[in-house]
Amino acid sequence: MSLEVSQARFKLYYWPIPFRGCFISYLFAYRDVALLEETSFEEIMELKNRSPSEQDIPFMGPPVLRDLESDCTLSQMPAIVLYVSRELELLPEDPFDLAVSMKVLMDCNDVLMEICRYNGSTMWQRDEWKQFRSRRFPRWMQIFEVSLQRGFFGRDPVNFADIGVFALFGNMTRCLPDLEADLLEHAPALHAHCQKIGSRPSLARFVADQESQYGKTYCGGQIEQSIRSMLEMDARQ
């Protein structure tokens, strides 16, 4: 990145996978701005397991961001994205544009929750997965496709919503390539937009570096095994 890590203002705490953390790290990568990252499982667990009164900000799970300049700490991905986007000049100035960009980001967050069964609270069953992939997931893709067509994201200048959409679908189809055909079928313009955002050299390098570290791990744990099992069954049909 263009800045030395020692000069970084922000430090991100997240598991050693991209998943929800990449909605934040991709912003920095897109702007080619240094970001400190703590990905030690043991370190993250230690912070997570502290009592709320002992945490710098009370939180249930990462990502967590520390602003080393102001000595402030934030949790919750959308809140962190909003906070750092001003510094990175990725925040829309118009109030409605800001609100609709947040709407797009929250849609991304909802898709993450659905595909990972609300943080892995239950595993995928075959009938439920079929319903999701054939009905719910296509509707989500169409929601993003129409949002793009209506200019809710995808306009100049690029903002955090564009990068959030890439973090959702770009990372998903990279890690779970069987789903790329779904995206091409139901949201071809969205697919093209993700390709465009992901082609920025600094971001492409960052994604390649993450893949060299973590491979194609998506959300990790038993829920990822459950998703991959469903995709393998789909492929055999």
DSSP label at residue 156: S
Superfamily of domain 5-87: Glutaredoxin (3.40.30.10)
> Please, are residues 184 and 191 in contact by the beta-carbon 8 Å criterion?
yes
pLDDT for position 7: 83
Q: Which CATH class is domain 95-236?
A: mainly alpha
The torsion region of residue 191 among left (phi > 0), alpha (psi -120 to 50) and beta comes to alpha
> Please, are residues 62 and 41 in contact by the beta-carbon 8 Å criterion?
no
Residues 6+ apart with CB under 8 A from 159: 85, 90, 91, 92, 97, 101, 153
pLDDT for position 6: 63
Mean pLDDT across the chain: 96
CA distance linking residue 181 with residue 109, whole number of Å: 22
The two structure tokens encoding residue 95: 């109030």
The two structure tokens encoding residue 213: 């570290």
DSSP-H helix ranges across 15-151:
22-31, 41-49, 77-87, 95-115, 117-120, 126-131, 137-149
DSSP helix/strand/coil, 81 = helix
The percent of residues above 70 in pLDDT, for the chain, comes to 97
Give the tens place of pLDDT for each residue, 174-183.
999 999 999 9
Residue 237 burial (C-beta neighbours within 10 Å; 0-12, 13-18, 19+): exposed
Q: State how far Cα 45 lies from the chain centre.
A: 20
pLDDT for position 237: 85
Residue 1's pLDDT band (boundaries 50, 70, 90)? very low
- How do the domains of the chain map onto residue ranges? 5-87, 95-236
Give the tens place of pLDDT for each residue, 125-155.
999 999 999 999 999 999 999 999 999 999 9
pTM: 0.95
